[in-house]
Structure formats: C-alpha cells, structure tokens
Amino acid sequence: MRVFKFGGASVNSAEAVKNMAEILRQQREHGPLTVVVSAMGKTTNALEEVAKLFFNEKDYSGAFAKVKNYHTEIVSGLFPDEKHPFRQEFELLFEELAGVLRKQPSLNFDFDYDQIVSYGEIISTKIVAAYLNHAGIKTRWVDIRKCLKTDNTYREALVDWELSTSLVKKAFAPNSEQILLTQGFIGSTINNLTTTLGREGSDYTAAILAYILDAESVTIWKDVPGVLNADPKWFDNCVRLDQLSYLDAIELAYYGATVIHPKTIKPLQNKNIRLHVKSFLNPKDPGTIIGDVSYESLTPSFIFKMDQVLIHISPLDFSFIAEDKLRTIFGYFSKHGMKINLMQNSAVSFQVCVNNDQTRIPNLLNDLRQDFKVSFDTGLELITIRYYDESTIQRVLVNKDLILEQRSKRTIQMVVKDLG
C-alpha cells in the first residue's frame, strides 16, 4: 500500500482536480492507495480571515462569500449539470459551516480557529471524492477525525498514537477495489472536537498513516519538480536535489523549508519508509527521493523566512541570564505556543527570532515584561544556509544589514534587514 498526499495547489481549480484524477487513474494499477488531500488553493488563508473576524465579532459575511464562491466555481467546472446529486451535498456543507459561525465565539481563538478552518479540508475532500467517483475511479471518503485522535492543544495538536493506531487500521484497511481518500491537517479529541496539526500539517497526516499502515512509500505531489535547494520565489537558479537523507530533510524542514512539514520525516525514518516528492504537473519526472541514502557532493540549500520579529530580553536588575531565568522565558514561550526560529544569549541578554504572529506576540510580550526588560525589531528576514561556504553567504547578503549570525559546522543562520 502507498500513501499519496496532494496539496492545495494540486486541487486549486477544476482542471487541477481533473489532472489529479488522471494521476490516480494511472497509479491505482500499481496497488492499493490511500490519498490525503489538503484544502483547495489558498482556502486555509481565506478561512483564517473568516475565523479572525468571527472571533472578534466583526462582519465575516464578505470573507465567507469569497470562500463559497471560489469552491462553487470549481464544483461548476467538475459537475456542469446543476441537477447533479453532489450539488445539493455541496450546499449542505456550507450550511453546516454557516451554522458554526452562527454560534457565539468562545474565549479561546485557537479552538474557534480549528472548528472553522478545518472545513477547508472537509469541503475539498468531499469535492474530490465526488468527482473521482463521477469519473469512474472508485473512491471511499474517510473522515480522518473519527480515527486520528489528538490532545486538545488546538492549532498544534499532539497525536494520541496508541488510540489512533487501532482506529486507523480499522478505517484504512487496504482495498485494491477503491481508493481511500481523506483529509490532511485535521484530527479530533476523544470528545470529537476538531483539532489541527499545525500549518502545512497534511504532510504529517500522510506520514502518520504510512507509519501506522506500514506503507511501502509516501509521495507528496507538488507544483515543483521535487525538493529544490531554495524557494524559487526568493532565489534564482534553483537546483533540484535528486535525493536527501532523512537527517538533511529533517534539518531543512526544521529550519523552515516549505516543501516538507517538519514533523513528517521522523515517523517515516523510524520504519525506513521512503518519501518521494514529485511534480503533479510532470508526474513522470523523477522528483526527489528522501530516505536512508548517502551522497558525496553537498549542494548548498537556502531557506528564507520573511516577516520575522527579533525579541531582545534582559534582566531588570542586570543579573545574569542563568538557568532560572531561561526557564521562565521558555515557560512563557510555551504558554503562548510560540515557536522559536533562532535564539542566542549572552551573560545579560537573550535574543529570540520568531514569526510575526499578531495573535500571540502581544500577550507573550506582556508576560515577559513582568520579569524582564523587553524590546523588539520587526520587518526582518531569517536566512538559513545548509552546507554553506563564504561565497554562498555573500550571495545572500547583497543589500542586507546583518543583525545577528549563528554558525555551526554545516549550517549558518542570519537575521537581516533588507536595505531596500
């Protein structure tokens, strides 16, 4: 059995869904398939906006209409007949979401976020499953929330592996007669409250299913030819990496490479399940293989994280930043669910680089200021180079002001300000 994962770009239009169907039509001949699908296009971003407006008790009707109109256009392209049975099911899905939005916001934004944003995956997979069956590709839609169980850490839920294992094996018994299609990114608590696994968590879902089901491989279908040594949005002359070791893939994902979710690799490594990253635009191309591999030449890889905040923390009384103070600082970051992208300390100061998350940073800063002097800089970039040399460093520092630097033998990280 193999696990495929299709991201938002692979299902962002009616034509894209049809292209996905052709890939599956060809691939199903090679054995049972479990398919994980993300929300369509930029739906997660759009539903995040709906969630923010809802939580702040502002008018979300325009943002909601945009989400529905976008999906309606895709459904119309896939099912031109307005009397097709799925048209009614589609309307019911949005009525269900509208029902969630008619409730009063809770006191926990992360909880409301998960209940709303998760509909991106539910709607997407319902549309795709309906079209695959319409196209003669037998498909069974599986609600991942019934078997992927987590704790109640909303937006960053932790998987209950023991309970999930027994439920997943029942729900996803390999079937050569039909494709099993489910959602990425989402799960639920034991009380059946929807949770999410973190942004881009669909990759992680695929890895979880592969691990539990002892899959022979996982394939992530992207709009790029494989894992590139840099994001083409930020870097010219990108190079496709033919293969990556598990270790390098984990390092790149940890530092922010967007092709693979950071949690994806470890479950696969534990069972030596190979991960293929391939292009849905050119499905016959080789892509990148991630596994227990070795290579002689080391290609530098570049990771750019934009819109960073550098927080400067120092004691109120000029005492040292020792273990007790670090414990307090990390406690606040954990409390507010803030991920640290880079940290550096001296005797009397501690600096932390984080994503500019406006829903979490203000409360974090308020807590830190109870015990420390705190200042911060915004509008920064974090550049990470794996397998760097001096020429690659100088290449990325053109027209940049270097604010903070951290090096190890294989990796350098630099916080910089664009000079314009």
286 CA to centre of own chain: 24
pLDDT of residue 296: 75
Cα–Cα distance for residue pair 30/288, rounded to 1 Å: 20
Q: Is the pLDDT of residue 318 over 90?
A: no
| Chain segment 21-69, per-residue pLDDT in tens | 999 999 998 899 999 999 999 999 999 999 999 999 999 999 999 999 9
Compute how many other C-beta atoms are within 10 angstroms of the C-beta atom of residue 366.
Answer: 12
Cα–Cα distance for residue pair 359/118, rounded to 1 Å: 19
Taking residues 324-332, what's their average pLDDT?
A: 96
pTM, 2 dp? 0.84
| Chain segment 135-155, per-residue pLDDT in tens | 999 999 999 999 999 999 999
Distances from the Cα of 196 to the Cα of 125, 256, 259, 331, angstroms: 16, 19, 19, 23
| Chain segment 205-253, per-residue pLDDT in tens | 999 999 999 999 999 999 989 999 998 887 778 889 999 999 999 888 8
pLDDT of residue 257: 77
| Chain segment 356-383, per-residue pLDDT in tens | 999 899 999 999 999 999 999 999 999 9
Taking residues 90-108, what's their average pLDDT?
A: 97
pLDDT of residue 200: 77
* Domains detected in the chain: 2-222 (3.40.1160.10), 301-418 (3.30.2130.10)
pLDDT of residue 65: 98
* pLDDT above 90: percentage of residues in the chain: 88
* pLDDT above 70: percentage of residues in the chain: 100
Least confident window among 95-99, 186-190, 197-201, 272-276: 197-201
Cα–Cα distance for residue pair 312/310, rounded to 1 Å: 7
| Chain segment 249-291, per-residue pLDDT in tens | 988 888 887 778 778 999 999 999 999 999 999 999 999 999 9
CA dihedral 229, 231, 236, 241 (to 10 degrees): 20
Q: Which uninterrupted H or E stretch holds 49? A: helix 43-55
Provide the strand spans (E) within 362-419.
372-386, 400-407, 411-418
CA angle 360, 250, 257 (to 5 degrees): 60
pLDDT of residue 297: 75
